[in-house]
Amino acid sequence: MLVGSGVKAAKAEVVAVSKRLGLPVIASAPAAGLVPTGFENFMGTQGRMGTQPAFEALHMADLVVMVGTVYPFMRYLDQPVKTIQINQRAADLGVQIHADQAVVADAGAYLQQLLAAQAAQLPETAFLKACQQSRQNWLAYLDERATLIDDAPLTAEAVLRQVGTLSESDTIYGLDVGNNTVFSTRMLPFDQQQQLTMSGWFGAMGYGLAAGIAAQLSYPKRRVITVSGDGGFSMVVQDLLTQVQYQLPVINVILENGGYGFIRQEKANSGQTDYGLTFNNANWAGVATNMGALGLRVTDAASLTAAIATIQDHLAAGNTQPIVLDAVITEEPPLETGQMILDPEQYEADAIGAFRQQYNLPADKYPALRTLLAQQDDEI
Ligand SMILES: Cc1ncc(C[n+]2csc(CCOP(=O)(O)OP(=O)(O)O)c2C)c(N)n1
Ligand SMILES: [Mg+2]
């Protein structure tokens, strides 16, 4: 089951249908926060802003039930797939991929009727179990990436894991555009009523900081966290003055990697030269402090831990100041999940080996979904 923003009012139904029918669930990136992070059938988001289990589940599926999504990347699937598409706007049906069955309906109403029509629990399939195992492996992968190591440069995952501890049950995240979005959708907690806003189709850098202003003005009592890259942040840094002027206690996180990381990865993948992709940064914490915000710059585990504790203290004391956490991170790109070279039935062993080596994804720890499925079949 592939869900999009249309399931906003049907979160409980998505989980119930997934459990009843035994369907792994995948979300589009803007819908990352609409399925609980901790749900055992949730594979995460699919595509370049995605996860390994979601990529593999979608690419091995025979049937995809698309609920409340016009998922643009369906057109790039490389296997034939049947689709059932449910959308309340008829014009959205069959736009990105043919719909074998097209249903004009509200997502919640459709899912409720599905539950009524299938009252008995369906048995768990080997495919679902393999997907659940793949998800567990993925969570272990993220844990490994997020582990703080003394005196080592910070990974984006480690920074966001710590930022996640500042999250409350109804926190709103304003996400910018770039590798920072990929890391954020993977790492931030969405287990309760948290929400995210991002510049989905338009990919407008600079969205994060402005989204923070809008979110905090709209919901003065809720905690608001923005995550931006250094490129996106420096495009709109002047708007921090607006946060200061209106005393908006937004927590703005910058993932500072010294360049346009998202484009660098794109160019590397297509064999283009690394040209014009690096730029100078200011000390953004210093800039923020001079603008009247609370600025904190972190470069390693100790300074990150101390900064998070400082932020907690300010929050506990009823903070009304915007905060800027400028986190200097490694240049490492996120694991490439736009096209994963893992399936032994689809790719040569050499190509798989090269992909695994490039992203430090050893086969014993992070097997392909097809391998996990074969193990399930052996057990049955
Ligand atoms: C206004 C705007 N200009 C250019 C782009 C193209 N673009 C997409 S991601 C990206 C790089 C973002 O760099 P940064 O903000 O540092 O984030 P990182 O990828 O390094 O995390 C660029 C240039 C865009 N989406 N929006
Ligand atoms: Mg950057």
- Specify whether 176 is located in the same domain as 205: yes
Q: Would 340 be classed as within a structural domain? A: no
- Specify whether 174 is located in the same domain as 226: yes
Q: Does residue 201 have a pLDDT over 80?
A: no
- Over residues 224-274, the pLDDT tens digits come to 999 999 999 999 999 999 999 999 999 999 999 999 999 999 999 899 999
Q: Would 92 be classed as within a structural domain? A: yes
Q: What integer pLDDT is reported at residue 377 of this predicted model?
A: 74
Q: How far is CA 188 from CA 164, 191, 277, 302, in A?
A: 5, 9, 27, 21
Q: Looking at residue 174, which CATH number applies to its domain?
A: 3.40.50.970
Q: Whole-angstrom Cα distance, residue 254 to residue 124?
A: 42
Q: What integer pLDDT is reported at residue 261 of this predicted model?
A: 97
As given in the structure block, the two tokens for residue 40 are 């055992």
- Over residues 79-126, the pLDDT tens digits come to 899 999 999 999 999 999 999 999 999 999 999 999 999 999 999 999
Cβ–ligand 1 distance for 159 under 6 Å, the answer no
* CA 272 – ligand 1 centroid, Å: 17
* CA 11 – ligand 1 centroid, Å: 31
Torsion angle (degrees, nearest 10) of CA 335, 341, 342, 345: 170
Q: Could you identify the atom of ligand 1 that is nearest to the CA of residue 181?
A: 21
Q: What integer pLDDT is reported at residue 171 of this predicted model?
A: 98
- Specify whether 178 is located in the same domain as 253: yes
- Specify whether 105 is located in the same domain as 174: no
Q: Report helix, strand and coil shares of the chain as percent, to nearest 5.
A: 45, 15, 40
- Specify whether 10 is located in the same domain as 51: yes
- Specify whether 204 is located in the same domain as 273: yes
Domain count, the chain: 3
Ramachandran angles phi, psi of 54, nearest 5°: -70, -45
- Specify whether 51 is located in the same domain as 119: yes
Question: Which of 262, 266, 272, 275, when mutated, tests ligand 1's pocket best, judged by the most ligand atoms within 8 Å of its CB?
Answer: 262
Q: What integer pLDDT is reported at residue 311 of this predicted model?
A: 98
The domain boundary, picked from 136, 171, 204, lies at 136
Which of 346, 363, 354 has its CA nearest to residue 59? 346
- Specify whether 151 is located in the same domain as 114: no
Q: How confident is the model at residue 173 (pLDDT cuts 50, 70, 90)?
A: very high
Q: What integer pLDDT is reported at residue 378 of this predicted model?
A: 77
Q: Could you identify the atom of ligand 1 that is nearest to the CA of residue 178?
A: 19
The domain boundary, picked from 112, 136, 160, lies at 136
Q: How confident is the model at residue 370 (pLDDT cuts 50, 70, 90)?
A: very high
- Specify whether 155 is located in the same domain as 299: yes
As given in the structure block, the two tokens for residue 151 are 């005196």
Q: Would 112 be classed as within a structural domain? A: yes
The domain boundary, picked from 113, 136, 159, lies at 136
Q: What integer pLDDT is reported at residue 271 of this predicted model?
A: 93
- According to DSSP, residue 69 is labeled -
Q: Looking at residue 92, which CATH number applies to its domain?
A: 3.40.50.1220
- Specify whether 173 is located in the same domain as 256: yes
- Average pLDDT on 205-216 reads 98
Q: Whole-angstrom Cα distance, residue 248 to residue 240?
A: 10
Q: Would 338 be classed as within a structural domain? A: no
Q: Would 343 be classed as within a structural domain? A: no
Q: Would 335 be classed as within a structural domain? A: no
Q: What integer pLDDT is reported at residue 320 of this predicted model?
A: 94
Q: How confident is the model at residue 202 (pLDDT cuts 50, 70, 90)?
A: confident
Domain, as residue range, for 80: 2-136
Cβ–ligand 1 distance for 229 under 6 Å, the answer yes
- Specify whether 163 is located in the same domain as 118: no
Q: Whole-angstrom Cα distance, residue 286 to residue 270?
A: 37
Q: Could you identify the atom of ligand 1 that is nearest to the CA of residue 262?
A: 19
Residues belonging to the chain: 380
Q: How confident is the model at residue 329 (pLDDT cuts 50, 70, 90)?
A: very high
**0.75 surpassed by pTM:** yes
- Specify whether 238 is located in the same domain as 269: yes
Residue with CA closest to ligand 1 atom 23: 260
CB 14 within 8 A of CB 35: yes
Q: Would 141 be classed as within a structural domain? A: no
Q: Would 142 be classed as within a structural domain? A: no
Q: How confident is the model at residue 380 (pLDDT cuts 50, 70, 90)?
A: low
Q: 70-104 burial, b for 16+ CB within 10 Å, e for fewer?
A: bbebbeeeeeebebbbbbbeeebbebbbebeebbe
* CA 143 – ligand 2 centroid, Å: 22
* CA 131 – ligand 2 centroid, Å: 32
State the chain's mean pLDDT as an integer.
Answer: 96
